[in-house]
Each structure stands twice: as C-alpha cells, then as structure tokens.
C-alpha cells in the first residue's frame, strides 16, 4: 500500500545557508507561528495560511491586474491596493503581473518534495559538517510534517537543526527531540507579562521546555535577540544571566543584535500590527551586554 502523503505549508527554501547552524545547510522555512513578535525578521512566516505580498517598488502601474481580478478587489491610485475582504487568493493577478509586484507567499508541499530539495546538496553537508535546518515561522507548529522530514533526514544520515521559539507542547518537543541534532532556541524576554504583551504568549512553557531539553543532554544553542528599549535593560539581562546559569549542560549562547532591514516586509504584507522600528544597538551596548552575561560563567558569541 502506498504511504499517505504528508503535506505542510512552507514559504521558502534557502540553499547554501551558513548562518542557520554549523557548515553549509539547506534551510526550510515553515509557515505559521503561535507568536507574533513585532521585531520578527520573517513576518511572512507568522500567518499559517497563504497570503499576498505587494511590492510597490516593482509595480509599474500598467493596470493589467485590475480587469483580470474576478472579485474587483484591485485598485490603483497613487499605489496598488487590494481589498482583502474581497480577495480569495485565486492568483489571476499574479499571472499577468510581469514585474512580479504581486506574489503569493506560502505553498503547500509534500515531505517527499522537500526531501528532494534537501538531497540535492548532500555532498556539501558532508564536506562542510552541515545539514538541514527547519526554521520559520515555528516548525513545531506543523508537528506531523516536521516529524516526517526529521525521520527522512535521519534515514539518510543528514544532520538536523530546528530553529524554535520553544512555545510547543512538551510531549511534541520531547517526542521529536531524538531526531534533532541541534536546537536553535530563542529566548526573548524574561518577564512573562512583558513577553505576553509583545509576543502574544507567556514564557513559562518556553523556559520549562529549554530546561527539559538540556536535562536530557540535548545540544542547544540559545539565541538571545538584543532589542533596544525592549529587552536590553539591566533587570532583563540579569534575569537572563541567572536563568541561563541555572541550566544544566548549556554550551552555546548567541547574542543577536537587532537590525531593522526586514521592516519593508511588514509593509508588503499589509499587517494589522505595527513592526517594532528602532535603531540597532550600538557596538558598545552589545559588548556591555556580552560582558554582563559572561559574569554568569556563560560563553557568549555575538551573532549567529
Ligand atoms: S489573488 Fe485573485 S482575488 Fe486576489 S486580488 Fe488577485 S486576482 Fe483578485
Ligand atoms: S500588473 Fe503588476 S505591475 Fe501592473 S499594475 Fe498590477 S501589480 Fe502593478
């Protein structure tokens, strides 16, 4: 009997990635995340459904898309706009837009299709000590799809990493952890109320899951985004240092200075919530936070 196809929603596959774990990697970006951080670098990964991205800078205002829309959802004034209440993502406008100013983000794929992409670069993984990284969005938000891909990778001896917010049920996380060689684990804000305010979820589960993984001897790189005026205050840094120092078997901690080059993505997605726009932290501030965290006996690397 034929195996049932396992499908998932992704928004990108990046080959030759060098910042998503060791060596040369293929990164698979899952669509959908239970958090909605306003500083997210991949906001197209937050919503689990397909959506449209509008590139105003590519639009020539030729008007070709307007008559082909079966729901009269498109209008062009100073710029192109779509009435989201009318649009059903049929894709007709995309077919006629030659400058690619309208794009659908997100596609449903089978695990076999994704494995086909992953397998193209096996030779590079072997030579560089790389592998595949599942990122997003939140990979654990599509647990069956992630499970299928992790198991297929393991059958082929491909190194696996999962980039996660940690906001996932303990059963799912620990159940799949035997197929994960490395967790890239984000830690954002230590105060749970503040965490909830900015990300939409509290942080207790995230902290507990991190401890559980480390207790079981899993390899985890903790990633700390450093976001000015949001989590770079003395209290948060101290709480972060104390918590990380209390964890067993923790090896790597990466401090990731916030940058704002992704802000245009929010505009292209016509999001209802505002992106967090602020200047990146200064070099001095990053060094200051690094040395404060090192006082807790932690090994801190700047960047990921
Ligand atoms: S995707 Fe379809 S419904 Fe939506 S704006 Fe384009 S043509 Fe209209
Ligand atoms: S077809 Fe493309 S380039 Fe032409 S008006 Fe529509 S979005 Fe703009």
Give the pLDDT score at 291: 96
What tokens were used for 180? 């994960």
- Which of 133, 197, 201, 194 lies closest to 166 in space, CA to CA? 201
Q: Return the residue whose CA atom lies nearest to atom 2 of ligand 2.
A: 97
Residues 9-57: tens digit of each pLDDT: 999 999 999 989 999 999 999 999 999 998 888 999 999 999 999 999 9
Distance 267 CA to ligand 2 centre (A): 17
Give the span between the Cα atoms of 113 and 121, in whole angstroms.
14
Q: Return the residue whose CA atom lies nearest to atom 4 of ligand 1.
A: 87
Beta strands 107-110 and 74-76 are unpaired
Atom of ligand 1 nearest to the CA of 102: 6
Is the distance from the beta carbon of residue 93 to the nearest atom of ligand 1 less than 6 Å? yes
Q: What is the DSSP letter of 45?
A: G
- Which of 145, 150, 182 lies closest to 163 in space, CA to CA? 182
Q: Return the residue whose CA atom lies nearest to atom 3 of ligand 1.
A: 87
pLDDT tens-digit profile, the chain (304 residues):
667 789 999 999 999 999 899 999 999 999 999 999 988 889 999 999 999 999 999 999 999 999 999 999 999 988 999 998 999 999 999 999 999 999 999 999 999 999 999 999 999 999 999 999 999 999 999 999 999 999 999 999 999 999 999 999 999 999 999 999 999 999 999 999 999 999 999 999 999 999 999 999 999 999 999 999 999 999 999 999 999 999 999 988 999 999 877 777 877 887 666 777 788 999 999 999 999 999 999 999 998 7
Q: Ligand 1, residues 66, 72, 74, 270: which to mutate, most atoms within 8 A of Cβ? A: 74
Atom of ligand 1 nearest to the CA of 82: 5
Give the pLDDT score at 41: 87
CB 33 within 8 A of CB 141: yes
CATH class of the domain whose range is 7-48+106-302: alpha beta
Q: Ligand 2, residues 56, 63, 64: which to mutate, most atoms within 8 A of Cβ? A: 64
Give the pLDDT score at 1: 64
Give the pLDDT score at 244: 98
Phi, psi torsion values for 153, nearest 5 degrees: -60, -45
Beta strands 252-257 and 300-302 are parallel
CB 184 within 8 A of CB 20: yes
Distance 67 CA to ligand 2 centre (A): 11
Residues of the chain with CATH 3.20.20.70: 7-48+106-302
- Which of 147, 70, 76 lies closest to 114 in space, CA to CA? 147
Q: Return the residue whose CA atom lies nearest to atom 7 of ligand 1.
A: 69
Give the three-state DSSP class for 55: coil
Give the pLDDT score at 269: 84
Residues of the chain with CATH 3.30.70.20: 51-105
Give the pLDDT score at 273: 65
Look up the CATH architecture of domain 51-105: 2-Layer Sandwich (3.30)
Residues 261-292: tens digit of each pLDDT: 777 787 788 766 677 778 899 999 999 999 99
């Amino acid at each position: 009997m034929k195996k049932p196809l396992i499908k998932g929603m992704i928004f990108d596959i990046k080959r030759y990635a060098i910042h998503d774990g060791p060596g040369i990697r293929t990164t698979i970006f899952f669509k959908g995340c239970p958090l909605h951080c306003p500083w997210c670098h991949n906001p197209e990964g937050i919503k689990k459904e397909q959506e449209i991205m509008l590139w105003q800078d590519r639009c020539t205002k030729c008007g070709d898309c307007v008559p082909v829309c079966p729901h009269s959802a498109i209008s062009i004034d100073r710029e192109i706009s779509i009435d989201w209440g009318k649009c059903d993502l049929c894709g007709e406008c995309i077919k006629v837009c030659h400058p690619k100013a309208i794009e659908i983000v997100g596609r449903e794929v089978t695990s076999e299709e994704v494995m086909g992409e992953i397998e193209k670069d096996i030779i590079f993984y072997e030579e560089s000590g790389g592998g595949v990284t599942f990122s997003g969005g939140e990979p654990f938000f599509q647990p069956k799809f992630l499970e299928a891909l992790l198991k297929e990778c393991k059958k082929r001896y491909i190194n696996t990493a999962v980039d996660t917010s940690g906001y996932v049920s303990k059963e799912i996380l620990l159940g799949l952890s035997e197929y994960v060689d490395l967790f890239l684990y984000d830690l954002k804000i230590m105060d749970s109320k503040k965490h909830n305010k900015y990300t939409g979820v509290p942080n207790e589960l995230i902290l507990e899951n991190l401890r559980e993984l480390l207790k079981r001897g899993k390899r985890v790189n903790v990633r700390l985004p450093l976001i000015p005026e949001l989590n770079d205050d003395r209290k948060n840094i101290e709480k972060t240092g104390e918590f990380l120092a209390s964890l067993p078997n923790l090896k790597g901690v990466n401090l990731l200075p916030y940058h704002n080059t992704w802000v245009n993505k929010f505009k292209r997605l016509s999001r209802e919530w505002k992106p967090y726009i602020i200047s990146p932290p200064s070099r001095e501030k990053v060094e200051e936070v690094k040395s404060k965290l090192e006082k807790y006996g932690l090994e801190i690397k700047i960047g990921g």
